[in-house]
Structure 1
Amino acid sequence: MKTVPVGPGRVPVTEMGLGTAQLGDLYVPLEPVEADAIVATAWDHGIRYFDTAPHYGLGLSEHRLGRALRGRPRDAYTVSTKVGRLVSGSGPAARRVWDFGGEGVVRSIVASLRRLDLGHVDIALVHDPDEHADEAIGHAVPALERLRAAGDVGAIGVGTSDVPTLLRFVRECDVDAVMVAGRLTLLDHSALDELVPECAERGVAILSAGVFNSGLLATDVPDARSHFEYAAPPAEVLGRARELAQIAASQGFTLPEAAVAFGRLPAPPVASVVLGADSAAQVARNVELLRAAGDAEALRSDVLLSSGGGPSAAPADPEKGKT
């Protein structure tokens, strides 16, 4: 699988990354063997970029990812994790605590390294700082810059679904990457207007996440049982998704193929499309979607004209997170 370098340290990310929110039991509980199989299948299919966060399952995702990667050559894969949401306490008493202070960032990285059983983090992203942007820009980013300068972190950035927040970080900070969650999709391509050209001009890599908008675009025929932004899809959005499926089919694509193709364009600045999976079979399917997508420029133009692509509603359950 092709790789793209991120940041001045040229941290490599594969063109498809594995998002591991599901390893934190996002929608359904996983058995440890199932979590191991998800990572192993991603590895067997050439994926070498893995994204996680303390927020996912209160550290469970990091713990499972670290266990699944144990024994593999450390220089053969890239891990990104996030800061801004510390896990406080343990067991049933564990809870998430917002902390974008410099000391909180360092504590978060140290705790993540312990759960991942790693010596360093390749990419560190500020996690969903939408309501805390001033504090994150003033304190979290400088702390990450110091970690990057010391070699403890290879690249730094921010991840959220809020495009104005991403733009602030790109324009005001020395970030290497942004993780765009659900805003570079067939249903919501609001990141195309300003963020994509800004990142291209400044050499900031885009990690394209949430291309299925939480699942609604992941099936050939969307239905009301699918998730949209972590909740049931509104009737209008469901109708748009079905229209998109028809447009894709008219040009020889399935809706999931079109969603993956759209999420990885334009490249650059898109370096990787990051897809989650709740089974090993789903990982293999996602890789096939990447291979089947091909050149979707014609499809992309038609969809842009027909789908509207306006901003989506905020996630219904903020505890699920957005990136």
Structure 2
Amino acid sequence: MTAPHTRTLGRSTVPVTALTLGTAALGNLFTAITDDQAAATVEAAWTAGIRSFDTAPHYGLGLSERRLGRALAGRPRTDYTLSSKVGRILVPHDRPGEDDLAHGFAVPAGHTRVWDFTADGVRRSIEHSLIRLGLDRLDVALLHDPDDHAEAAFHQAYPALERLRAEGVVGAIGAGMNQTDMLTRFVTDTDVDVVLLAGRHTLLDHSGLTGLLPAAHERGVSVLAGGVFNSGLLADPGPGARYDYAPAPPHVLSRAMRLRAVVERHGVPLRAAALHYPPAHPAVAGVLIGARSPEEVEDAVAVMRRPVPAAVWDDLKGEGLLPAWAPTP
């Protein structure tokens, strides 16, 4: 990283670094990690110059927020940008012995997630997040996966976020999703600052290029590109690799193997190309990476710093693996 802050989100004054640390893994995504490992992961990101961090109540039923808050405690509040999400309220329940693995997190199921995109739900969600984080404000608040709640998201939750931004409770607002259609609507029909697009602007999935990213660029809305490894397939394609949180279908695995073959002909690891590709689009303000260990953070930073020859992109386009008109570094 060459500078602590590299871009601002939309028309806000909220800065982000080229890499944002996504902290689902701090909430024990799929498998548990220790408190010490979570703290060391955040420390490694900080040492590498990462100053943007993303979390959500959904991640480990609040565990990610608590761990991230503890790891950042004592650091100057103006030195980092923190985003969390709204849309799921955590309601305590007493069901001893249950776990949350059905939702992907290796934590005790001490709470139930309740979808709530009402204005009151937005405010309560942020209040609860601030308590877990030990902070008095969020830099960014995102509507989290409102796919099945469009009416409430646009007519109740979004106006609530607008008011909170005007009050200074949050600095920037937006939405985070795994699809492009509704995010495009947020870009064109509202005054969001940023959208977090997961898995739809990658070497494997180009769906973000045709509607969302051009609209965001035209409207001055920033895009954070998440899921750039498509659940790990682009980090290490091979038998058993996952794509969009499930085992990769044979045709997708085959395409990933072709991508790797082209990129490695130039002596570049595939994960380097996967990290370098998304921010080439002018709408993209940064890339969000997930990590569960200091080693994963250090690897991501190292490959982000590694140059990718222009011939890589020429060859990928020449073999039909990238659209000919896709912006590349």
- TM-score normalized with structure 1 length: 0.91
Q: Residues 143-177 of structure 1, C-alpha deviation per residue, up to 9 Å, x if partnerless?
A: 00000000000000011011001111111111000
Match of 1:273 in 2: 287
**Distance in 2, Cα, partners of 1:295 & 1:140:** 41
Q: What stretches of structure 1 move > 4 A for 4+ residues in a row?
A: 295-298
**Aligned pairs for 1:52-201 within 5 A:** 52-89=55-92, 92-201=109-218
How far is the alpha carbon of 1:89 from its aligned partner? 1.1
CA contact 1:42–1:283 (8 Å) conserved in 2: yes
Q: What secondary structure sits across from 1:306 in the alignment? A: coil
**Distance in 2, Cα, partners of 1:271 & 1:9:** 13
Q: Residues 47-99 of structure 1, C-alpha deviation per residue, up to 9 Å, x if partnerless?
A: 00000000101111001000100000100000000011111115644111111
CA contact 1:11–1:155 (8 Å) conserved in 2: yes
AA partner of residue 283 (structure 1):
V
How far is the alpha carbon of 1:28 from its aligned partner? 1.4
Match of 1:48 in 2: 51
* Alignment counterpart, residue 249 of structure 1, candidates 264, 282, 287: 264
CA contact 2:118–2:152 (8 Å) conserved in 1: yes
**Distance in 1, Cα, partners of 2:201 & 2:299:** 21
Match of 2:246 in 1: 231
CA contact 1:261–1:296 (8 Å) conserved in 2: no
Cα RMSD (Å): 1.5
Q: What secondary structure sits across from 2:74 in the alignment? A: coil
1:262 aligns with 2:242: no
**Distance in 2, Cα, partners of 1:169 & 1:302:** 35
**Distance in 1, Cα, partners of 2:308 & 2:222:** 21
Identity rate, percent: 50
**Distance in 2, Cα, partners of 1:147 & 1:300:** 42
* Alignment counterpart, residue 32 of structure 2, candidates 29, 32, 37: 29
- The number of residue pairs the alignment matches comes to 305
Name the stretch that deviates more: 224-233 or 71-80: 224-233
Match of 1:10 in 2: 13
How far is the alpha carbon of 1:295 from its aligned partner? 5.4
Match of 1:315 in 2: none
1:287 aligns with 2:286: no
**Distance in 2, Cα, partners of 1:289 & 1:228:** 21
CA contact 1:19–1:276 (8 Å) conserved in 2: yes
Q: Residues 180-202 of structure 1, C-alpha deviation per residue, up to 9 Å, x if partnerless?
A: 10001011011011111111110
Match of 2:312 in 1: 299
Match of 1:38 in 2: 41
Name the stretch that deviates more: 186-195 or 2-11: 2-11
| Richer in helix (by share) | 1
How far is the alpha carbon of 1:109 from its aligned partner? 0.3
Unaligned runs of 5+ in 2: 94-107, 324-329
CA contact 2:200–2:208 (8 Å) conserved in 1: yes
CA contact 1:258–1:296 (8 Å) conserved in 2: no
CA contact 1:182–1:209 (8 Å) conserved in 2: yes
Match of 1:320 in 2: none
Match of 1:312 in 2: none
**Distance in 2, Cα, partners of 1:231 & 1:9:** 36
Q: What secondary structure sits across from 1:37 in the alignment? A: helix
AA partner of residue 257 (structure 1):
A
Match of 1:214 in 2: 231
How far is the alpha carbon of 1:250 from its aligned partner? 2.3
**Distance in 2, Cα, partners of 1:101 & 1:300:** 45
AA partner of residue 274 (structure 1):
L
**Distance in 1, Cα, partners of 2:67 & 2:309:** 35
**Distance in 1, Cα, partners of 2:10 & 2:170:** 11
- TM-score normalized with structure 2 length: 0.89
